[in-house]
Structure 1
């Protein structure tokens, strides 16, 4: 009987994964989306998502409040008390790393107090941790409980290749990479077909700050994990994926939240009026400008954008938001009245062809047939959303790894036109004045992006990529197969 008992047990054993996403909206939302995909694929899996909240709300609180647990997916708040966080905030340079480290005791408590032995439906056993790229210090906790870690990378394969390359330049070859900043030197980087000009490198790779050092320490730890899920797909980044060998890479994308419920900041009536306006526009005629949750510009730059939109003559939908007060870590907010920052008479003159809005319901807009181009900061989630709907991109990166995303889209993949690829948004005024991108550059980019008919190669490619992205996620597709392999690997941890 005992052999039968063991076999029965094996069939009812559940494998439990503990997800520890980064607290930013772009990280948390896609981590929860991949968690749902994993659960849909295999009945044996259960997932606990541990939620850390930052003191500044980056649109995450309302999203988290909208989440509902189900028997196999639970959300556990492990937020630190305010006093502890205030203490950590004293050291700005290492705040984020210290913040993640500070949650280790909470993670240990959670695992100690959760019975990963017998549960109502048979056995549940801890099978591993799934960590955000900024949460690699949690590998220590996983090791204490003798389970492996995986990473869910919310960026793309090219970024991972770039990180590995710079980690080896810094740590093995002791090269001072700050010499590449703003330089015209062309670098050969594994994972990139084209030579990469130093001036398009994300600041993260050329800064000599504590934050940079800590980031590359974390990249070193990627190699201790059992695998990295990357939010990309084989057909989009074949070249970058071929260069990545260790640890095992699972391209599982595009992982996109198509519902947008919960983390949108628009009332239903605002969203309705935007969609209604789009309904009245011809197919593929509108250029949509939106720069992510952190996107905002000062008055001088806003004026250049306005002039460019008038000159280009294209219909437009422009998400325009007020920058946070100088030196404050906050999200941009909506203007009470756009007239205060727009050129005089702009709204009247563009009435009928253009609409200026605050926060944009991005997925609803990109999926609308009237939208023909997307001027974007090239955050990776936004890029994937755009490609899923076959909308080509006008690249105007701002911060983080967006310059590299723009380079890849424009130079390697032919899915975007350049507006300005070496633009860097400076939140603290450290790098001197931010350059102004002129109306002429912007208008020229928009004209290329919105060009009609046969000569618009980029639009044709975006449409092809839309088909490939949806095929990748379906049964028989590359990402579908890749996720299946990851799940088998996770299950093998408990067998």
Structure 2
């Protein structure tokens, strides 16, 4: 193949907006940087996801047609046969094989590599093509799982024994010891989640490179630690990779209502509470949040979701009547200072000048969005790797205020014994976030503003992330000729 021949990459994202959106945005950047690149994205549909946030964002992303960017929808799976994302990925492996076989058999297009963020290295390996990983989490998390996999492989260390432990781990990608209580849920899952994660991590070492949605200035210590590890593939911190475009026209009125309310608020006066597409709380916890907001007297915009039915894996839905879950008279008493909503246009809200703080679940995409917009965060993790992100933001990077670091409401764990975060704890966090009486808070806000500037510089021509994208493209082109 000549240097100018088209190079087609196949992107296979994990189902879910938090994975699909950044991968598609990454694909757009790649084809914009090099005319020789063409990309096909395989889209797996989640049968149990009927939420507005997913349908709105996915429709917007996938209808944004661009030259040399194609989308292929894999067959819909029966919800009765799929109980988790892991099972959904497994059931789609044969569909992926079938599509790749079709791609490599045609003379019109030439598949030259995979970019995946799913446990599909085995499928990619069957075709003998270069495989890269798009990592939607932090570099610190990547360093953590590499370290844990090494402990298991070389020292037969069972990390699941750390569940409910007060132990701390020395992890090369962190400057501080990492408490076991903030380890990701999958790491502590004795039912197989840890085994699957370690198997995935082992396969990560065999890839040609790992693209990470972060930027060097944010995670300089973790990036350096991974770069110095000769057992880790090349790392490309290319972020923040964000989707910053507004929603579809049919959602404009709903978004406009929220934005009009924000327009009427003073600058930096509103605390925004939002916990992601899967984030929700039981009624007792919702009432504690409501009490905290009322006690704090700060203006607020609160995105609230109804928990999924027990025993079912579903995306949280919106309440039909908020009065059933909120304290009696709360909406009337707070009408002049607050607004309670369902789905939230998160980037649009964070970009608004009225927003002065973000009570966040600390998912990595939300973290990058908040930093990009220069909005300081208060940490309240819920599931997945969010506890570790919260620890990193609060203790390692000093870019967030702590409400909680180890709160956990996760599918992988028994949630019946969750300890309530009290109204006083929440109010205290909101006050620290929104008021400037504490010198440490002033320092955090200053650092957030500096990091916001750094994030924008990183993606511009000549910036660190821009240059890493160029390095990744060079790697791809070299591997086309030397697989």
1:483 aligns with 2:469: yes
Partner of 2:90: 98
Q: Deviations over 1:359-402 (max 9, x none)?
A: 10101100001101100111111000000000111100011110
Q: How far off is 1:321 after superposition?
A: 1.4
Which range is displaced more, 348-357 or 284-293?
348-357
- 1:79-228 equivalence runs, <5 A: 79=75, 82=78, 86-87=80-81, 89=82, 95-96=87-88, 98-115=90-107, 118=108, 125-141=110-126, 144=127, 146-228=128-210
Largest Rg, 1 or 2: 1
The CA deviation at 1:28 is 0.7
Counterpart pick for 2:31 among 33, 39, 45: 39
Write out aligned runs for 1:333-482 (5 A): 333-427=317-411, 430-452=414-436, 455=439, 456-482=442-468
Q: Following the alignment from structure 1 to structure 2, what is the Cα–Cα distance between the partners of residues 433 and 260?
A: 40
Aligned equivalents of 2:55, 2:165: Cα separation in 1: 40
Deviation string 1:82-106 (CA, Å, 9 cap, x unpaired) is 4xx755x37x696245235343432
Alpha-carbon offset, residue 230 of structure 1: 0.2
Q: 1:312, CA displacement in angstroms?
A: 1.4
Gaps of 5+ in 1: 1-8, 119-123
Which residue does the alignment assign to 2:9?
Answer: 17
Q: Deviations over 1:201-226 (max 9, x none)?
A: 11211221223211210110001100
Unaligned runs of 5+ in 2: none
Deviation readout 1:409-448 (Å, 9 max, x if unpaired): 0001111111111011133762542221111111111111
1:293 is aligned to 2:277: yes
SS at match of 2:388: helix
Q: In 2 relative to 1, CA 58–481 (structure 1 residues): closer, same or farther, beyond 3 Å?
A: farther
Separation of aligned partners in 2, 1:107 and 1:187: 43
Deviations 1:30-58 (A, max 9, x none): 10000001111111110011112222226
Query: Is residue 137–residue 218 contact of structure 1 (8 Å, CA) maintained in 2?
Result: no
Residue deviations 1:323-354 (CA, integer Å, cap 9, x gap): 12222221111112211111111112111111
Q: Is the 8 A contact 1:152 1:228 kept in 2?
A: yes
Root-mean-square deviation (CA, aligned residues, Å) is: 2.1
Kept in 2, the 8 Å contact 1:80–1:103? The answer is: no
CA distance in 2, matches of 1:451, 1:93: 41
Whether the 8 Å contact between 2:384 and 2:410 is mirrored in structure 1 is no
1:273 corresponds in structure 2 to 257
Instruction: Write out per-residue CA displacement over residues 88-129 of structure 1, whole angstroms, 9 at most, x where no aligned residue.
Output: x37x696245235343432333323443xx4xxxxx543211
CA contact (8 A) 1:131 1:138 kept: no
Provide the C-alpha distance between the structure 1 equivalents of 2:103 and 2:480, rounded to a whole number of angstroms: 16
TM-score normalised by structure 1 residue count: 0.90
Q: Which of 57, 60, 70 is the equivalent residue of 2:49?
A: 57
> SS where residue 494 of structure 1 aligns?
helix
SS at match of 2:480: coil
Q: Distance in 2 between matches of 1:192 and 1:475?
A: 29
Q: Give the structure 2 partner of residue 257 of structure 1.
A: 243
Residues 161 and 190 of structure 1 are in contact (CA less than 8 Å); yes or no, is this contact kept in structure 2?
yes
Q: 1:235 to 1:193 in 2, by over 3 A?
A: same
Question: Does the CA contact (< 8 Å) of 2:162 and 2:180 recur in 1?
Answer: yes
Q: How many residues align?
A: 471
1:324 is the counterpart of 2:308: yes
